[in-house]
Structure 1
Amino acid sequence: MHTMWKGSISFGLVNIPIKLHTATEDKDVKLRTLHKECHSPIKYEKKCTVCDVEVKNEDIVKAFEYTKGKFVVLEDDDLEKLKKENEDKAVEIMDFVMMEQIDPIYYDRTYYMSPGDGGGKAYSLLRKALEDSGKVGLAKIIIRSKEQLAVIRVYEKTLVMETIHYPDEVRKAEDVPNVPAEDKVTKKEIDTAILLIDQLTTEFEPEKYTDEYRTALLELIESKRTGKEIVTPTEKEPVANVTDLMAALQASIDKTKPKKPAAKKKRAATKAKKEA
């Protein structure tokens, strides 16, 4: 597994050398853009909006636009020095909190943490302490030139670091338009909705959920590549246009209600009896 960051984390005076490994991967099917006429890849040029000439990489600088059309130019040396000063610091766990106190809206990316040379025992100590306390650690880390707030927790005997958003990066829920101020539903509607939820409740088995669009897209690509006939999938059952909320809930319950096998068993028992 590729190491994308090396350093150390500490809590109190305990220091643990660690390596970070990306825990998830994007499996989106990447499509190229081609010239329709000859099917050659399209080349995108970097051009100056004023000089109208192509610009080479060595002639490009980074800048911050502090107001429309006004920029502060930042030299690569300044950025590299700033990055180096912060990356060399050990990642310190600042606080420990209960995981339930962190809403999932804050989570960003997940990284596996493996112990560096000589860090196995300290790694095990932190893992066991987090498991027994039921808490997670909060730390700060510089990843790809950005300081990130991170949660350190245990996942299947492995320490993981999850970068999380700062509070000012999470938009306010009260700014979402057209959200009802209060619940104008009846007790019967609530009870029926809870019954439907109970019928659809199951154990979380991530393996049973698949990316159907990606599968269909790959099948389409393979069909075109090999010249096979593309089979159009059977049309899905049309969604019923039920406008009454209570009727929709009841129809959903009837549709998801487990089928009783009693009648089938009774017929099988009667048939066996006759044959005997």
Structure 2
Amino acid sequence: MHTMWKGSISFGLVNIPIKLHTATEDKDIKLRTLHKECHAPIKYEKKCSACEKEVAPEDIVKAYEYAKGKYVVLDKEDLEKLQKENEDKAVEIIDFVKMDEIDPIYYDKCYFMSSGDGGNKAYALLREALIESGKVGIAKIIIRSKEQLAVIRVYDNTLVMETIHFPDEVRKTEDVPNVPAEATIAKKELETAILLIDQLTTAFDPSKYTDEYRTALLELIEAKKMGKDVVTSQEKVQTTNVMDLMAALQASIDNTKPEQAAEEKPKKTKTRKKVAKEA
């Protein structure tokens, strides 16, 4: 597994050398953009918006636009120095909190943490302390020139660092349009909705969920590559066109009712067979 960051993490006087490894991977299917006429890849050239000249990588600088059309140019050396000063510091766990106090909206990206040279005992100590206390650590870290707030927790006997958004990076719910503040909900509607939730409640098993679009796209690509005809499946169940909330809830419940283990077969009516007499 590729190491994308090396450093150390500390809590109190305990220092743990660690390595970070990306815990998840993007499996989106990347499609190239081609010229329709000759099927050659399309190039996207970097050109100056003023002089229309193509710009080489060495002639590109970073800048911050503080007003429309006005920029503060930041030298590469300044950015590298600032990044180096912060990356050389050990990551310190600032606080310990209960995990359920952190709303999932804050979570961003997940990294596995492995022990660095000589850090096995300290790694195991932090892992066991987190498990026994039922807490997670809150820390700060610089990753790819950006300071990140992070949660240190245990997943499947492995320490995990999960970056989380700073509070000012999460937009205010007050800015979301058309959110009903209050609504009159009939008791029967609420009870029926809860019944539907109960019928759909199960133990979480991540293996049962698959990316159906990606699978279908891969099958389409493979079929076209092999020169086969492609047909679209029409097996999806059509939803009922219900008009009111109560009817929609009841229809949903009816559609999710478990099938009977065994239905009684209707009894056959005994009939006498007519015997044809021999002539």
TM over 0.5: yes
**Deviation digits for residues 169-219 of structure 1 (CA, Å, limit 9, x no counterpart):** 000112111111113211111111000000000011101100000011111
2:200 aligns with 200
Equivalences for residues 120-135 of structure 1 within 5 A: 120-135=120-135
Matched residue SS, 2:263: helix
Equivalences for residues 122-201 of structure 1 within 5 A: 122-201=122-201
- Partners of 2:235 and 2:117 lie apart in 1 by 57
Deviates more, 1:3-12 or 1:218-227: 218-227
Is 2:117 the counterpart of 1:117?
yes
Letter in 2 for 1:18: I
Is 2:239 the counterpart of 1:236?
no
User: Shift of residue 239 of structure 1?
Assistant: 2.0
User: Shift of residue 104 of structure 1?
Assistant: 0.0
Letter in 2 for 1:147: E
Identity %: 76
Equivalences for residues 254-269 of structure 1 within 5 A: 254-264=254-264, 267=265
User: Shift of residue 235 of structure 1?
Assistant: 4.8
2:35 aligns with 35
**Deviation digits for residues 212-267 of structure 1 (CA, Å, limit 9, x no counterpart):** 00011111111111101112212523222112111111111111111222425xx5
User: Shift of residue 136 of structure 1?
Assistant: 0.2
- Partners of 1:21 and 1:255 lie apart in 2 by 43
- Partners of 1:206 and 1:29 lie apart in 2 by 21
- Structure 1 runs of 4+ aligned residues shifted over 3 Å read none
- Partners of 2:134 and 2:116 lie apart in 1 by 25
Whose helix fraction is larger, Structure 1's or Structure 2's? 1
Letter in 2 for 1:9: I
- Partners of 2:127 and 2:68 lie apart in 1 by 49
Letter in 1 for 2:134: G
Deviates more, 1:238-247 or 1:150-159: 238-247
Measured on the aligned residues, the alpha-carbon RMSD in Å equals 1.4
Matched residue SS, 1:263: coil
1:211 aligns with 211
- Partners of 2:262 and 2:61 lie apart in 1 by 75
- Partners of 1:84 and 1:217 lie apart in 2 by 43
**Deviation digits for residues 152-171 of structure 1 (CA, Å, limit 9, x no counterpart):** 00000000000000000000
User: Shift of residue 93 of structure 1?
Assistant: 0.1
Unaligned runs of 5+ in 2: 269-279
Letter in 1 for 2:248: A
Letter in 1 for 2:201: T
- Partners of 1:214 and 1:16 lie apart in 2 by 40
Deviates more, 1:234-243 or 1:123-132: 234-243
Is 2:64 the counterpart of 1:53?
no
Is 2:100 the counterpart of 1:100?
yes
